[in-house]
Amino acid sequence: MQDPRSSAKAMAAKGETGGTVIIDTGCANLSSVRFAFERLGAAVTVTDEPGLIKAATRVVLPGVGSAGAAMAALEAKGLVELIQGLTQPVLGVCLGMQLLSLLSKERGGRSEDCRCLGLIPTRIEPLADKGLPLPHMGWNQIVPTAHPLFAGIAPGSYVYFVHSYRAPISAFTLASSEYGETFSAAIGKDNFMGVQFHPEKSAAVGAQILANFLTMGAESSTSAQADQAAKEAKS
């Protein structure tokens, strides 16, 4: 398998920036997320280099495993503040979505709740499964809101979930699903969006959601850069 990072290095060497960047969190579903975007014909870069992430048109934060380990990995790479400061569209996938919240109750052997990136004001708690098998694993139906990430996705569409923790229904819910209780299948605030399910494994429905994400950012990123340039010009 070709190392995805080699293309990032080549880009950096050539001074190319922009496009869709997947943050290299070192987690296991990194390849699958990249493959899904590539099936849509998108050029994606997998990297943990701050310059490339900042310059991206849009950013994907993948993740599987436990919140504590993933936050520790982001801290070790010095990416926490960088992600918090991103102004372009950011899509968290599965654990990546959970990391966008204030905190996670998934302690993973630690004595305290896991502080997350604090970008979407909601908290990650155990799924109230009401005796159903856990993890919540398999294809379940979502009811999306009118958010552009879900353009063309009908209520009742099936997507693939694997998780035991969830964000509750809140003002930041972009789509809901039901397993023992109704929970957030997707959350969002401003430029930050997250999906609890795996769009990269959700057949045609997932591909549509990723394609929707690929249409975002071209303008807002330009205006954000323009704002930044304006600020720098003033100071």
Spacing of C-alpha 223 from chain mean position: 22
| 200 tagged catalytic | yes
Annotate each residue in 194-233 with x if it binds other proteins (CB under 8 A) or - if it does not, as one string: ----x-xxxxxxxx--------------------------
- Determine the residue type at 58: R
Size of the site for other proteins (CB under 8 A): 43
CA distance 152 to 129: 30
Question: Which of 35, 78, 105, 227 touches other proteins (CB under 8 A)?
Answer: 35
Shortest distance (Å) from residue 51 CB to other proteins: 25
Three-state DSSP class for residue 132:
coil
Judged by CB under 8 A, the stretch of 9-17, 25-33, 72-80, 226-234 that binds other proteins is: 25-33
Alpha helices by DSSP H, 116-202:
none
Residue 170 in contact with residue 160, Cβ under 8 Å?
no
Nearer to other proteins, 10 or 203 (CB): 203
Question: What is the total residue count of the chain?
Answer: 235
Q: Kindly name the residue from 27, 49, 94, 114 that is annotated as catalytic.
A: 94
User: Quick check: 31 binds other proteins (CB under 8 A)?
Assistant: yes
User: Quick check: 192 binds other proteins (CB under 8 A)?
Assistant: no
User: Quick check: 28 binds other proteins (CB under 8 A)?
Assistant: yes
Shortest distance (Å) from residue 220 CB to other proteins: 28
CA distance 160 to 138: 5
Nearer to other proteins, 17 or 32 (CB): 32
| 114 tagged catalytic | no
Task: Give yes or no for a cis peptide into 133 (omega within 30° of 0).
Answer: no
Query: What would the two tokens of residue 3 be?
Result: 């190392």
Annotate each residue in 61-80 with x if it binds other proteins (CB under 8 A) or - if it does not, as one string: ---xxx--------------
| 106 tagged catalytic | no
Work out whether the CA dihedral 45, 47, 53, 55 comes out positive or negative: negative
Write out the binding residues for other proteins, residues 116-155 only, by CB under 8 A.
Answer: 132-141, 153-155
User: Quick check: 41 binds other proteins (CB under 8 A)?
Assistant: no
Can you give 24-70 as a three-state secondary structure string? CCCCCCHHHHHHHHHHCCCCEEEECCHHHHHHCCEEEECCCCCHHHH
Nearest partner of 33 among 209, 191, 172, judged by Cα? 209
Known catalytic residues are 94, 198, 200
Q: Which residues bind other proteins (CB under 8 A)?
A: 1, 28-29, 31-32, 35-36, 38-39, 64-66, 132-141, 153-158, 160, 162-164, 178-179, 198, 200-207
